Structure 1
Amino acid sequence: MATGGIGRLLAAARRVTAGRNLTVRSPLPPSPYPPVALVYRGPATVPGCPEAVAALLKSSRWGFDVRYVGPDEVLPLSRQALAGAALYVQPGGGSLKRGYRHLKRHRDEIRQFVHSGGRYLGICLGGYLAGATPGFGLLPGDTDQYVGSAGATVDSEEDTVVQVSWCGRWRTLFFQDGPYFRLRPDADAEVLATYLNGAVAAVVTRFGDGKVGVVGPHPEATDDWYLDAGLRVPDRLGVDLGCDLLDEVMRP
């Protein structure tokens, strides 16, 4: 995939949020039942990623009823399953080519779900899959490898850490060949985080009546991810940033 110019990335960001005190409301009508969040678990991900995302969802203010979907789960990924959900989450995983091969038959279902008012949260591979080459085509632009971008601070596809500026705060997050997001200059998008070279690391945008939130690094990573990779555990894990992204996705 060709690497776009970083200057265009900065021009594409409609605004970078530098701190918010928002009243977050659900996109769903009031209900005595918790909103349903579907988390993909299957061959387009790797063990640990869906479970870490599920833990992040459960730690959020939303009180989600988290359900796994996939070919070997009790609940398959389908139009019917999506119809009862408020949020669909695509976790991290392996390569984009392999992931899309397993999920391309669900492309239209996921696009219709979001376009009709649903929410999509994509982390690492889930961020790549929100793009277009290949992917679900949910973004006003596309994705590419951060390690191949001009001035990238990471040059390996191995497990490592990366620094990002998240709403003006510098944080260290777990990273494994995650994307950056190439937005069109006219994109109506809220950039939450950038890498050190200015490339977009986390962004929220609309798709039809729904919203899409994507992030390149792994804010959901637990301390064992770092330890298993021989990395120093940062002073503060990124769960609060993941919840911040989730709040922006769920906000009307």
Structure 2
Amino acid sequence: MITTKNRLICFTYFIIIVFFTNCKSTIKEAPIMLFNGTGTSPNDVEAVKDILFSNHMDFTLVNSTQLNELDTSQLKKYKLIIIPGGNFIDIGKSLTEETTRKIQKAVHQGLNYLGICAGGFLAGNTRNNSFNITNGVQFKFYSAEAKGIRKAAVAVSNADGTRIEHYWEDGPQFSGWGDVVSKYPDGTPATVQGNYGSGWVVLTGVHPEAPENWRKEFSFSTSIETSHNYADSLIKAAIEKRAMSHF
């Protein structure tokens, strides 16, 4: 026999389950989605957050579980998705194949994309569950990697004639896709831009958002403010679907 007490206990458990289920899935509405899921660098997520905060840009954080739960129509409610630095293989593994297809479809239908370092790799065809929004192009590491260099201050030449030293760590170069916005010292693309369907895609292999403590072991000829302004310009160009100067 089910007593009133047992009914009350069952109802309480039901309310708790519903509450936590809804909490897990709730994502704040904002124009920018910043991915902070498995495989991302927590320090780089914080660095991107600081740029967004300092420039008064409204954003929401989305982890791997939450991103896997979103459908294409929900993704398209955002203007921009930012995939920061980290381990692109681990990021890909944290997402379902259906999720990467949904992101590919959403970008094709108008969601803009900014990929920083690992996020740049994932935009291409990594053969490890990537988004493949660059027409099948697979990106390689910048040539410093082959020399055993894992991180450095790298002087990047921009199409507008400026030259900025950015923090670089295991980042890609983007030969074979898009308009080249900036180049590494070896002439390969450091930052590129282009359309994928109706979506605007901006990819960079360097870390203009890097905080001061990332830069302390290297000597930079340009200021951190210059790099942070460049990071801001990349975000704004991506969300506004605005082409930057290119070669």
Please indicate the TM-score interval, normalised by the length of the shorter structure: 0.7 to 0.9
* Alignment match of 1:251 (pick from 237, 240, 244): 240
The corresponding residue for 2:133 is: 138
The corresponding residue for 1:118 is: 111
Identical aligned residues as a percent: 28
The corresponding residue for 1:201 is: 190
* Alignment match of 1:43 (pick from 24, 38, 45): 38
Structure-1 separation of matches of 2:239 and 2:48? 15
SS in 2 for 1:225: helix
Q: Is the 8 A contact 1:153 1:196 kept in 2?
A: no
SS in 1 for 2:120: helix
Structure 1 residue identity aligned to 2:141: Q
Structure 2: which 5+ runs fail to align? 1-28, 242-247
TM-score by length of 2: 0.74
Q: Kindly provide the CA deviation profile for residues 13-56 of structure 1, in whole angstroms up to 9, marking residues without a partner as x.
A: xxxxxxxxxxxxxxxxxxxxx95211111212121111211222
The corresponding residue for 1:155 is: 147
Structure-1 separation of matches of 2:108 and 2:123? 13
Moved more, 230-239 or 111-120: 230-239
Matched, 1:236 2:223: yes
Structure 2 residue identity aligned to 1:159: K
Q: Decide whether aligned partners of structure 1 residues 82 and 153 sit closer, same or farther in structure 2, where only a CA change above 3 A counts.
A: closer
- Per-residue deviation, 1:221: 0.4
Structure 2 residue identity aligned to 1:111: Q
Structure 2 residue identity aligned to 1:112: K
Bigger relative CO (Cα 8 Å, ≥ 6 apart): 1
Moved more, 175-184 or 34-43: 34-43
Q: Is the 8 A contact 2:39 2:89 kept in 1?
A: no
- Per-residue deviation, 1:154: 7.5
Higher percent of residues as helix? 2
- Per-residue deviation, 1:197: 1.0
List aligned pairs for 1:157-172, cutoff 5 A.
Answer: 157-167=149-159, 168-172=161-165
Q: Which one has a bigger Cα radius of gyration?
A: 2
TM-score by length of 1: 0.73
How many residue pairs get aligned? The number is 204
Structure 1 residue identity aligned to 2:214: W
The corresponding residue for 2:94 is: 102
Q: Is the 8 A contact 2:84 2:118 kept in 1?
A: yes
